[in-house]
Amino acid sequence: MTMITMAEAINQALVYEMTQDQDVVVMGEDVAGNGGVFRITVDLLEKFGPDRVMDTPLAESMIAGCAIGMASQGVKPVAEFQFMGFIYPAFDHIINHAGRLRNRTRGRLSCPLVFRAPYGGGIHAPEHHSESTEALFSHIPGIRVVIPSTPARAYGLLLAAIRDPDPVLFLEPKAIYRKFKQNVPDTGQALPLDKCFISKTGSDVTIVAWGAMHAEAMHAADILEADGISAEVIDVATIKQLDMKTILTSIEKTGHCVIVHEAARTNGVGAEIAAEIAEHGLFSLHAPVKRVTGFDTVMPYPILEKKYLPNADRISKAVREVL
Amino acid sequence: MKKVAEFFVEYFQFLDKDSKVVDDLPEFTNDRGFLISLYRSMVLTRIFDEKAVRMQRMGQLSTFPSSLGQEAVMVGTGAALKKEDVYCPYYRDQGVLFRHGVTPKELFIYWSGDERGSAFSGAREDFPIAVPIATQSLHATGVASAFKIRKQPRVVITMCGEGGTSEGDFYEAINLAGAWNLPVVFIVNNNQWAISVSREAQTKCETIAQKAISAGFKGIQVDGNDIIAVYDKVSQAVENARNGGGPQLIEAITYRLSDHTTADDASRYCPKDNLDKAWDEEPVERFKKYLEDYHDFNESEDLAIKDECSKEVDQAAIDMLNFEKPNAESMFDHLYENFPEALLVQYEELIAMNKEGGK
Ligand SMILES: Cc1ncc(C[n+]2csc(CCOP(=O)(O)OP(=O)(O)O)c2C)c(N)n1
């Protein structure tokens, strides 16, 4: 049994798929010689050579646009944005082209690519390095947004994302890149996209989370368990398109729902989940849905980031409020 | 075939790596006091950087990008700014900001991970540090446009690394600056590395300076380890822009003698030979030797400057560490001039959370 971190699991998935599929290439700033600023692509250059592992010039619009062109030819780029805060120059290509090339050409061309980016707070990084803006991308038709929460899910979901014939934005919660390890057998087994995972079953409340907040939700469930409160924890994993069926089924059972995300509250993905529950699960609820989120402020610099980010205490407190 | 246009790029150096004078020195080199003030700013910048790296290692700063080896680029640029000019920084240009009125304490506060470090008590119109690469190039064109619209004889300087010149924003900025003949000077700190990506991997251009030619204006190279060359050419470009002569690009050729930031380990990709060679050319010793050889600068003057700068930096560090910590709800400060009523709910929630001793 080899216990590995999420960082290692992502690397393991890249190596597996690049070995299996000659069309898969890796590109981005500092991904080749340096193995990525988070060391996620370490040793890929040595293993697969400079034709398949490419340091790009410093330009995100170029990375996205070029990856789209490659993908139209059936090359499968896994392109890295160094931090989520630096994706925005690429937004034009993501929304105007990646998300609609298939649609615009009536299926003649497609865009089988993965955009990877570390995201989220908790590592005392400088400004612009710590925000979570998954909601911006979750509003774009034609792309998937996937966020792993454990090493095993990172491995299985990244394989699925690379194999998927459409563009996937794969956001990696950098706070937990190396926080804990799991046994992740290198079997090449993908996990399903478009599906939530039930990480812990429970009967009193459903806690919905993703990314680094998933570990906080699990921790909150432990705290609550000690007080005899049984929480079910759902890892959303694919943020777009949402698997509401799993969430609604859980709420039918528990009658309570707390949604957790570190992104700002207004128009966050939590709002969409709550709206779906209001439309399709209202009569399952015994109390209003509650959100535990970041605030509608600019993501604060490191000195206040702990005050901004939700944690197990805030989550368990919210659960007690709805019960 | 007929030739319709032809271009060249000039390179300027006054002091070679052994501090020998290799070209006719500009006027200002007769002003010993000014030269010593440049030297002092370079020493201050180096001591600040060394202190900041040590403080980061001790957990007192979050991340820090040293400008080790690039002090001449920074100080020569900063010295060319007048008080009423505006600077649009990137993040490795503490030496420019110091010359324009930003204090070491403020930059310590910024890099400790505290917004208040950008409140700049001195340089009131300068932009804050720009972490998203090359975005500042466009802001500089906007500030310059405002000067032009209002017919003010003011100039903007902006800086980025050579890696930053690959960004669309950079190309868009130089194009606009040319098209509108804006009073803006683009400085490129070509320190040979964009984190681990080398200058050669970044562009096929022989020079970064020639990018200006594509935008219709002059681009030159200077020896970025020669403070005389940097100051001379930047101040000429600034005064030319002030007089309606339009933009210029100055590529300062230097070397990043440190890691990219404290989060980087350059030994993974930067060949040691290159680094050793670059140390032979570094700007502070080069200028000091020139001052000794040509201006009777002596050891006791040098020691006095170093002592003074160390004290200033140490005091700034103490001031930063003693700076009262912000309260949590200050994250809502300065979001809007007119605070939306609906946002009060969250503001009060945060205050309540902290009252309960919420973690
Ligand atoms: C838009 C954007 N993309 C990526 C980054 C991450 N990043 C920070 S510094 C850097 C390299 C910059 O190199 P260069 O422009 O040459 O300046 P230097 O840091 O060497 O002075 C990168 C890629 C960023 N800050 N902003």
Say how far apart CA B123 and CA B157 lie, in whole Å. 13
Residue A189 falls inside a structural domain = no
Q: Are residues A222 and A268 in the same domain?
A: yes
Return all residues near B353 (Cβ < 8 A) that are at least 6 apart. Answer: A314, B328
CB A146 within 8 A of CB A94: no
Return all residues near B84 (Cβ < 8 A) that are at least 6 apart. Answer: B154
Q: Are residues A83 and A132 in the same domain?
A: yes
Q: Are residues A25 and A147 in the same domain?
A: yes
Coil, strand or helix at B96: helix
Catalytic residue among B92, B100, B154, B260: B260
CB A72 within 8 A of CB A20: no
Residue B301: pLDDT band with limits 50, 70, 90: very high
**Structure-block tokens of residue B60:** 């007192």
- pLDDT score of B223: 98
Q: What are the start-end ranges of the E strands in A96-136?
A: 114-119
**Boundary (domain end) residue, out of A183, A209, A225:** A183
Distance (Å) from the alpha carbon of B30 to chain A's nearest alpha carbon: 42
Say how far apart CA B170 and CA B162 lie, in whole Å. 10
Contact B358 CB / ligand 1 (< 6 Å): no
Q: Are residues A176 and A214 in the same domain?
A: no
Q: Which residues of B touch A313 (CB under 8 A)?
A: 358-359
Number of domains in chain A: 2
Residue A190 falls inside a structural domain = no
pLDDT tens digits, residue range A92-120? Answer: 999 999 999 999 999 999 999 999 999 99
Q: Domain range spanning residue A61?
A: 3-183
- pLDDT score of A2: 85
CB B246 within 8 A of CB B183: yes
C-alpha distance from residue A128 to each of A83, A119, A275, B129 (Å): 8, 10, 29, 11
Say how far apart CA A309 and CA B14 lie, in whole Å. 53
Q: Are residues A178 and A203 in the same domain?
A: no
Residue A97 falls inside a structural domain = yes
**Residue B276 C-alpha to ligand 1 middle, in angstroms?**
24
pTM over cut 0.90: yes
pLDDT tens digits, residue range B224-281? Answer: 999 999 999 999 999 999 999 999 999 999 999 999 999 999 999 999 999 999 999 9
Question: Which residues on neighbouring strands pair with residue A91, listed in sequence order?
Answer: none
Coil, strand or helix at B249: strand
Give the count of alpha carbons within 13 A of A68, CB side only: 21
Residue A26 falls inside a structural domain = yes
Nearest CA in chain B to A83: B132
Which of A297, A309, A314, A316 is the best substitution to test chain B (most B C-beta atoms within 10 A)? Answer: A297
What is the CA A174 to chain-centroid distance, rounded? Answer: 10
Q: Are residues A174 and A284 in the same domain?
A: no
Residue A253 falls inside a structural domain = yes
Active-site annotation holds for B269 = yes
Say what percent of chain A tops pLDDT 70. Answer: 100
Say how far apart CA B173 and CA B134 lie, in whole Å. 9
CATH number of domain containing A241 = 3.40.50.920
Query: Positive or negative CA dihedral for B251, B256, B259, B264?
Result: positive
> What ipTM was estimated for this complex?
0.96
Nearest CA in chain B to A127: B131
Residue B357: pLDDT band with limits 50, 70, 90: low
Q: By CB neighbour count within 10 A (0-12 exposed, 13-18 middle, 19+ buried), where does A108 fall?
A: exposed
Nearest CA in chain B to A317: B358
Say how far apart CA A275 and CA A258 lie, in whole Å. 13
CATH number of domain containing A144 = 3.40.50.970
Q: Which of B71, B97, B93, B68 is nearest to B85 (CA)?
A: B97
CB contact under 8 A, B163 and A57: yes
Q: Could you say which residues of chain A have pLDDT below 50?
A: none
Residue A214 falls inside a structural domain = yes
CB B65 within 8 A of CB B97: no
Q: Are residues A73 and A38 in the same domain?
A: yes
Residue A166 falls inside a structural domain = yes
Active-site annotation holds for B260 = yes
SS3 content of chain A, % helix, strand, coil (to 5): 40, 20, 40
| Ligand 1 probe mutation, A31, A37, A82, most atoms within 8 A of CB | A82
Token pair 């009193």: residue: A204
**Residue A58 C-alpha to ligand 1 middle, in angstroms?**
7
**Boundary (domain end) residue, out of A183, A207, A229:** A183
Q: Are residues A31 and A75 in the same domain?
A: yes
Residue B359: pLDDT band with limits 50, 70, 90: very low
Catalytic residue among B46, B100, B256, B286: B256
CB A237 within 8 A of CB A146: yes
Q: Which residues of A touch B349 (CB under 8 A)?
A: 295
Q: In whole numbers, what is the pLDDT of chain A averaged over residues?
A: 98
Q: Are residues A211 and A236 in the same domain?
A: yes
Q: Are residues A175 and A213 in the same domain?
A: no
Q: Are residues A31 and A171 in the same domain?
A: yes
Burial A219-251 (b: 16+ CB within 10 A, else e): bbbebbeeeebebbbbbbbbbbebbbebbbebb
Residue A191 falls inside a structural domain = no
For A191-219, the three-class secondary structure string (H helix, E strand, C coil) is: CCCCCCEEEECCCCEEEEECCHHHHHHHH
CB contact under 8 A, A303 and B114: yes
Q: Which residues of B touch A295 (CB under 8 A)?
A: 331-332, 346, 349-350
pLDDT tens digits, residue range B30-49? Answer: 999 999 999 999 999 999 99
**Boundary (domain end) residue, out of A183, A209, A231:** A183
Contact A88 CB / ligand 1 (< 6 Å): no
Q: In whole numbers, what is the pLDDT of chain B averaged over residues?
A: 97
Q: Which residues of A touch B112 (CB under 8 A)?
A: 302-303
- pLDDT score of A1: 77
pLDDT tens digits, residue range B77-122? Answer: 999 999 999 999 999 999 999 999 999 999 999 999 999 999 999 9
Q: Are residues A139 and A222 in the same domain?
A: no
Q: Which of A107, A94, A209 is nearest to A141 (CA)?
A: A94
